[in-house]
Amino acid sequence: MADKFVILFVCTGNTCRSPMAQGALRVLLEKERPGQFEVESSGIAAAAGYPATMYAVEAARMWDADISVHSSQPLSRQMIDRADLIFGMSPEHVKEVIRQVPGAAEKTFLFKSFPEIGHEGEAVEDPIGQALDRYNETFLEIGEYLGKFLPEIVKRIDAKSDAQK
């Protein structure tokens, strides 16, 4: 079987933004390219094994995205190398990916600036410690951007699939 297209979301603690984005994109891509992708997430300051926050789990339910079994993991070189497409939720996240693996610069994007390469632009604000309403706003913001980016992401999945034929 051909290798799946791997998308990696990176945030700080891997308990809010990146798991919500991971869950949302899985829902979207299951409709578009079932079985052709993997979506992962990690954090630049994450400890291993923590669940997504209660409010992140609740917010993701808006799209029937189940992130209740999420387990946080620190960003690693192996994850960066394995990914075909990497989204940092803030400029700092993009810089850390590229610091760890300079060759990953061409596949690493600031989430809200995709498909522009680089780390300049606006971050997805971290809702950690805030009310459920803030998590819902963050999830909807992530979903809005994913909706805009979906055709480009699907195009990249198809290009990898075609190259493997």
Using CA atoms, how far residue 126 sits from 3, 123, 136, in Å, is 32, 9, 12
Of the candidates 16, 17, 26, 84, the residue annotated as catalytic is 17
Report domain extents, the chain.
Answer: 5-163
Q: What does the alpha-carbon distance between residue 93 and residue 163 come to, in Å, rounded to a whole number?
A: 30
* pTM assigned to the model: 0.97
User: 67 is written with which tokens?
Assistant: 């992130």
Strands (DSSP E) along the chain, which ranges? 5-11, 37-43, 85-88, 108-110
Q: Is 16 a catalytic residue?
A: no
Q: Is 82 a catalytic residue?
A: no
Q: What is the pLDDT of residue 2?
A: 59
- Cβ pair 53, 132 in contact under 8 A: no
Q: Is 122 left (phi over 0), alpha (psi -120 to 50) or beta?
A: beta
Of the candidates 126, 134, 156, 158, the residue annotated as catalytic is 126
- Cβ pair 115, 109 in contact under 8 A: yes
HSE at residue 90, side-chain half, CA atoms within 13 A, is 14
Nearest residue to 51 (alpha-carbon basis) of 28, 23, 83: 23
CATH of domain 5-163: 3.40.50.2300
Q: What does the alpha-carbon distance between residue 158 and residue 88 come to, in Å, rounded to a whole number?
A: 22
Question: What are the tens digits of pLDDT across the range 128-152?
Answer: 999 999 999 999 999 999 999 999 9
Per-10-residue mean pLDDT of the chain, 165 residues long, equals 88 98 98 97 97 98 96 98 98 97 97 90 96 98 97 96 87
Of the candidates 11, 16, 26, 84, the residue annotated as catalytic is 11
Q: Is 126 a catalytic residue?
A: yes
Q: What is the pLDDT of residue 21?
A: 98
Q: What is the pLDDT of residue 165?
A: 79
Q: What does the alpha-carbon distance between residue 18 and residue 2 come to, in Å, rounded to a whole number?
A: 26
